């Protein structure tokens, strides 16, 4: 209905009365309704024009959800084009004491990924996977950095991983992963368990030629202790 028709209806309905105030109110309502209609209809058109201009200018509107997804999963896009082969894994004989059994395993490694590959392969063996503890340590020499990448794992045998890594350090062996499995026999061994873990590790290092003889490890450990005691005096 047009404004003129509305005003005429008010005149007919209120014949003989003062209708100036009613006309003013009707005109005000009409203008408000028109303004609201203009905002709801015309505003999207303005927004669309701005969006189209931005696209035409070549400015891409970033999808922040996609950007976050890409950032969170950036590790999935790392370059793994060079396939790394599983290093050969060697096993030494067992050491048994009071029904606890220790066995060491060794593999040459040059990257942390190879370390993970070897560990995964070992855990495919049901006997090794069932061990009470699988303690390991590795040292990888980085030529470009002139430094070592090294780490260890206790697997529940407190301080055993650190002791094993210390053994590899004093023997100065590199690019190698040593794992010692222990099957607990129900009798606590006390400090002897660390002796068996290190002896088992020495055995596999000798077997694979990383050190010449078991006595070499003992001598290296003794020299290391003496040098420390001199510094403390």
* pLDDT tens-digit readout, 156-186: 999 999 999 999 999 999 999 999 999 999 9
Q: What is the dihedral of CA 108, 114, 117, 123, to 10 degrees?
A: 40
Phi, psi for 94 (deg, rounded to 5):
-100, 155
Domains of the chain: 1-78 (no CATH), 90-232 (3.30.230.30)
Specify the pLDDT at position 140: 95
Q: Would you state the structure tokens that stand for residue 228, as one six-digit string?
A: 């420390």
176-183 and 147-153: which strand pairing?
Answer: unpaired
Distance CA 151, CA 195 (A): 20
Q: Is the pLDDT of residue 201 over 50?
A: yes
Distance CA 132, CA 184 (A): 6
72 confidence band (pLDDT: 50, 70, 90):
very low
Specify the pLDDT at position 214: 55
Three-state DSSP at 153 gives strand
H or E stretch covering 44: helix 20-56
Task: Over range 42-54, report the average pLDDT.
Answer: 40
Other beta carbons within 10 angstroms of residue 38's beta carbon come to: 10
DSSP readout, 52-63?
HHHHHTTPPPP-
**Where is pLDDT greater, at 50 or 170?**
170
């Amino acid at each position: 209905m047009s404004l003129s028709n509305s005003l005429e209806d008010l005149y007919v309905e209120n014949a003989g009365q003062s209708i100036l105030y009613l006309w003013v109110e009707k005109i005000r309502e009409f203008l408000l309704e028109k303004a609201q209609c203009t905002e709801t209809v015309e505003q999207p058109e303005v927004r669309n024009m701005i969006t189209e201009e931005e696209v035409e200018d070549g400015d891409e509107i970033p999808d922040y959800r996609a950007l976050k997804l890409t950032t969170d999963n950036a590790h999935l896009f790392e370059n793994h084009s060079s396939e790394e082969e599983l290093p050969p894994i060697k096993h030494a004989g067992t050491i048994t004491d009071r029904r606890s059994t220790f066995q060491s395993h060794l593999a040459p490694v040059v990257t942390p990924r190879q370390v993970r590959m070897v560990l995964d392969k070992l855990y495919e063996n049901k006997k090794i996977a069932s061990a009470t503890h699988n303690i390991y340590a590795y040292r990888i020499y980085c030529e470009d950095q002139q430094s070592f990448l090294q780490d260890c794992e206790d697997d529940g045998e407190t301080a055993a991983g650190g002791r094993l890594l210390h053994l590899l350090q004093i023997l100065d062996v590199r690019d190698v992963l040593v794992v010692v499995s222990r099957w607990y026999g129900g009798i606590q061994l006390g400090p002897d368990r660390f002796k068996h873990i290190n002896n088992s590790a020495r055995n596999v290092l000798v077997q694979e030629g990383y050190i010449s003889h078991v006595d070499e490890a003992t001598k290296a450990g003794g020299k290391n202790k003496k040098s420390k005691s001199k510094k403390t005096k």
